Amino acid sequence: MLDQAPLSSVAPPLAAASAPIAMFATYVHPEAADRVRAVLESTFLSEGKLVREFETQLSAQLGLRHPAALNSGTSALHLALEVAGVGPGDEVIMAPQTFIASALVVVQVGARPVFADIQYETGNLNPADIEHRITPRTKAIMVVHWGGYPCDLAEIQAIATRHNLVVVEDAAHALGATYQGQPIGSISDFTCFSFQAIKHLTTGDGGALCARDPHQAREVFRRRWFGIDRAHSPVSEIGEREYDLTDVGYKYHLNDYAAALGLANLEGFQARLAHRRAMVQQYRAGLGRVAGLQLFQPQPDRESAHWLFGFHVENRLAFIRALRAKGVTASVVHDGIDHNTLFGGKRPELVNQRQFDATQIHIPLHDHLSAEQAEYIIDVIHQGW
Ligand SMILES: *Cc1c(COP(=O)(O)O)cnc(C)c1O
């Protein structure tokens, strides 16, 4: 399998003698340069047939429903809220365990993020902490699949259905993940992906928005390009495109040279995902019985996209220093974002989030990580901190 996924460039070093083993690596397929060069030489740089081909392949290879390729994951989140009709005065219930982009877009549309607690064991939104936060202003629930591990979507969708709410998935970490056998990107009202440089499929910057409803999907395609329906706005004899703008659109589309990079990087994506899965199995087997270390607890009905490998650790600063001294990077990935003044300041009552903030740690997981390096990292952790 893995020979389908040529891993370009040199493998990172094994031990402390040289640069440390990094948390992330940007994967660029060896054929990407040629494919991007062909676009540059064609001088057709804007949104065209390669964007359409990229969208077709995201559907065909990963089961995404109606993916619209956009210029970032943040654009996807913003456009999802716009098309969902979330606006001034509305409330969106969400987990703080995410990157600020998730809540920024809520503020951008004039709505308010309402933070609910997470599950300490996964970092994902706790379905049991949602319902008592619903008010007449609540419009949507936004979920984040932390590190690529899918949230409890069935429970969350049941709450949304009961209260007539929209579900928006921030699936920036979760391309290739599945939940109860269904691909992430085919389940909720809206699913948002990121193809930013350190995400596991990159177009440099980019994203995709999947709207399950075909009418809303058409609206996504129209509003990603100024709100103009290109297919139904012919250019007249005098050279002007004929349309009537009816609502606000954005300049959010992807372009063809980014799509060329995305298409190249889709080659071997499943094999690279399988490689990540194997690395995670190795980590879990090697770290399952270490004093002071508590692994996250996955359920068997879903498969993570394994963007991150995180767990909880005692004496975290000592842990980070001990690993650094032996050439291994270990890092916190995002404190709960509710602490930001813009979002209202830290919520002490979110007990699991505060505990997660205090103990979470992530170790290297990327396409270039080798089994030998994973073994070395396990060994270093066993030596203690
Ligand atoms: C990366 C990321 C985003 C933003 O994606 P961009 O493509 O950088 O705009 C949003 N949410 C989460 C959880 C992310 O990790």
Measured between alpha carbons, how far is 171 from 177 in angstroms, rounded to an integer? 9
Picking from 196, 145, 146, 201, the residue whose alpha carbon sits closest to that of residue 168 is 145
> Taking 50 as the threshold, does the pLDDT of residue 2 lie above it?
no
Separation of CA 243 and ligand 1 centre (Å): 33
Which protein residue's CA is at the shortest distance from atom 5 of ligand 1? Answer: 73
199 in catalytic set: yes
32-266: CATH number: 3.40.640.10
* Domain 7-27+268-382 -> CATH class: alpha beta
Ligand 1 pocket test, pick from 97, 99, 145 with the greatest ligand atom count within 8 Å of Cβ, gives: 99
Cα angle 179-259-275, degrees, rounded to a multiple of 5: 45
Picking from 316, 349, 345, the residue whose alpha carbon sits closest to that of residue 331 is 316
- Domain residue limits, the chain: 7-27+268-382, 32-266
Q: From the candidates 49, 139, 199, 346, which is the catalytic residue?
A: 199
pLDDT digits (tens, 9 = 90+) for 45-94: 999 999 999 999 999 999 999 999 999 999 999 999 999 999 999 999 99
pLDDT digits (tens, 9 = 90+) for 93-114: 999 999 999 999 999 999 999 9
Ligand 1 pocket test, pick from 193, 196, 334, 337 with the greatest ligand atom count within 8 Å of Cβ, gives: 196
Please state whether beta strands 91-94 and 112-115 pair in parallel, antiparallel, or not at all (unpaired). Answer: parallel
Task: Check residue 17 and give its pLDDT.
Answer: 55
> Taking 80 as the threshold, does the pLDDT of residue 331 lie above it?
yes
| Minimum-distance ligand 1 atom for the alpha carbon of 75 | 9
